[in-house]
Structure 1
């Protein structure tokens, strides 16, 4: 058995990743991880699942939901250590999502700097002023900052 295919207990996986055992069980029920069972019905995970959980944690920090993470991890092989090529394919797959999030964050930061930071409080010049609720036709939410109301 290669290093990445070495089996480890759920406790070891939790300790190595900093994730609670209950969260690992939850990830398993969502199909993000797959355990093998011993004769005593104890869970064993591939050592390489440390990387899977690391990806889950990073993806969550980047704003991906568990459904998106589940879809991405479904492309990785189960039962063997993912190769560099496998991880590169996954990286390419989420790159456009990350680029879109970066663009939205940059746009939002710039608008917040300009609008909230300006201090004008003018009902005629302020870019956030919404006379007669014109932005309402575009739907609910913060249209001037996160969407396009004008």
Structure 2
């Protein structure tokens, strides 16, 4: 059983309760607050108190991060919400649709990397015995530096 009493609906949560409930370490909560992604108020004893809605906001942040959305984009998405509100289901659908193309592109690149990983790193520069077949006479080198066979 938790050492923290469960708050009643509408009550504010301490930083420890938010960390326990969200699975986000206290240090990360402090970082997110410094970055303006979440907010709290201070009690007269200078303790942080968070509204319960911060749990949904944290879920939004963590899910976006888990799929590789940069924190700057997450912040911009949250900043686009009226009055700094917590994302609703409609907000999530709209924002995730905006990120879908980027995620699809990332998935394509990762799949290609996975499929080609053992045979070639994408440019032929390692002179692996197969590179003469994949990139004869370093033809891809004419296209510029770096991996040339990986998409986008």
Question: TM-score category by the smaller chain?
Answer: 0.7 to 0.9
Gaps of 5+ in 2: 1-7, 122-127
Cα drift, residue 35 of structure 1: 1.1
* Kept in 1: contact 2:109–2:150 (CA 8 A): no
User: Equivalent of 1:125, from 120, 133, 138?
Assistant: 133
* Kept in 2: contact 1:37–1:43 (CA 8 A): yes
Q: Distance in 2 between matches of 1:23 and 1:145?
A: 34
* Kept in 2: contact 1:6–1:46 (CA 8 A): yes
Aligned residue-pair number: 139
Q: Distance in 2 between matches of 1:50 and 1:76?
A: 16
* Kept in 2: contact 1:108–1:146 (CA 8 A): no
Cα drift, residue 34 of structure 1: 1.2
3-state DSSP class of the match of 1:40? coil
Deviations 1:21-50 (A, max 9, x none): 111011011111111222322211121211
Matches within 5 A, 1:1-150: 3=9, 6-77=11-82, 80-112=85-117, 115=120, 121-127=129-135, 131=138, 134=141, 138-139=144-145, 141-145=146-150
Q: Distance in 2 between matches of 1:82 and 1:98?
A: 20
Deviations 1:79-100 (A, max 9, x none): 6443322222222222222122
**TM-score (norm. length: structure 2):** 0.72
**TM-score (norm. length: structure 1):** 0.73
Structure 1 67/13 Cα, relative in aligned 2: closer, same or farther at 3 Å?
A: same
